[in-house]
Amino acid sequence: MTTQSYLSELFSLDGRVAVVTGGSSGIGRAIAGALARAGAAVVVVARRREELAATVEELTADGCRAAWVSADLGTREAVRAAAEEAAKAFGEPDILVNSAGINQRPPMGELGEDVWDITMAVNLEAPYLLGQRFGPGMAERGFGRIIHVSSQQAHRAFVQSGAYGVSKGGLESLSRSQAEAWSPYGVTCNTLVPGFVMTPLNARLSSDPERVAALAARTMIGRNGLAEDFAGAAVFLASRASAYVTGQSIFVDGGLSVH
């Protein structure tokens, strides 16, 4: 057996279909690119059309199969419609990645129900609804991968965790519930846990060099995360190689959480 065919057997996503929410920016975009380059046909879902189109253009220029669906995952009806549209592009997905997320940061005392509701809707309810839509089909077909993207704030309070930390804590619990339900049928469900990653989500914090340096110093590796740092872990969790890994929270954080 050649090295290439060995690696291919473990990690290739040839013939797989993936739906990646938030696939037009930051961590989601890096994951969408990684899955596509590993062989999957990828549908990216987010609101802004220009970013979606640019992502798909980059992937197709690289010889990958990719499509986009514009949807606001903040309402249940829109999530349901987006799921149907996403499944039309390349068929029912084998891989679902929930990376779309928002982080509004009012201090707890000023946290209103509007911020609470939209945070729960995008960060927790959309992943739940998409899991309900795609999980049973994956189980029926005997293969599936659900990958959530949570946050260190699922585990500890950090810069006004507010509703955001609560939604991410719920997301990791959702992942374990899904794992319990569908793992017997070949559908693994896991969560990637970023530390501090330099993406548009953190534009305000990232533009403060002192805060950036202080956060980097809290990691063991000595730098903050980059979206590309999630490529390898995502391909692993999406592939056959991770068949016995389920219900886990995998920290891709340069050691931040254990420092």
Ligand X SMILES: NC(=O)c1ccc[n+]([C@@H]2O[C@H](COP(=O)([O-])OP(=O)(O)OC[C@H]3O[C@@H](n4cnc5c(N)ncnc54)[C@H](OP(=O)(O)O)[C@@H]3O)[C@@H](O)[C@H]2O)c1
- Give the residue carrying structure tokens 């991410």: 168
What minimum distance in Å lies between the beta carbon of 187 and ligand X? Answer: 21
Q: How far apart are the first and last CA of the chain?
A: 41
* Residues forming beta bridges with residue 70, ordered by sequence position: 46
**Residues 154-180: b if buried by 16+ CB within 10 A, e if exposed:** bbeeeebbbbbbbbbbbbbebbbebbe
Of the residues 13, 20, 35, 151, which one makes contact with ligand X according to CB under 6 A: 151
Phi-psi label, residue 226: left if phi above 0, alpha if psi -120 to 50, beta otherwise: beta
* Residue 38 lies near ligand X (rule: CB under 6 A): no
What minimum distance in Å lies between the beta carbon of 9 and ligand X? Answer: 30
**Residues 10-36: b if buried by 16+ CB within 10 A, e if exposed:** ebbbeebbbbbbbbbbbbbbbbbbbbb
Q: Considering only CA atoms, which of 163, 56, 154, 60 is closest in space to residue 108?
A: 163
Question: Which tokens belong to 39?
Answer: 């062989």
Site residues for ligand X, 83-102, by CB under 6 A, read 99-102
- How much of the chain is in helix, strand and coil states, percent to nearest 5? 55, 15, 30
Q: Which CB, 12 or 24, lies closer to ligand X?
A: 24
What minimum distance in Å lies between the beta carbon of 10 and ligand X? Answer: 26
Would residue 164 show up in a list of annotated catalytic residues for this protein? yes
Of the residues 17, 20, 26, 179, which one makes contact with ligand X according to CB under 6 A: 26
Site residues for ligand X, 106-135, by CB under 6 A, read 122
From residue 168 to residue 197, the character string flagging contacts with ligand X as x (rule: CB under 6 A) and all else as - is --------------------------x-xx
Of the residues 161, 175, 202, 239, which one makes contact with ligand X according to CB under 6 A: 202
Q: Which of 6, 128, 164, 244 is catalytic?
A: 164
Of the residues 51, 94, 125, 172, which one makes contact with ligand X according to CB under 6 A: 51
Q: Which residues bind ligand X (CB under 6 A)?
A: 22, 24-28, 46-48, 51, 71-74, 99-103, 122, 149, 151, 194, 196-197, 199-202
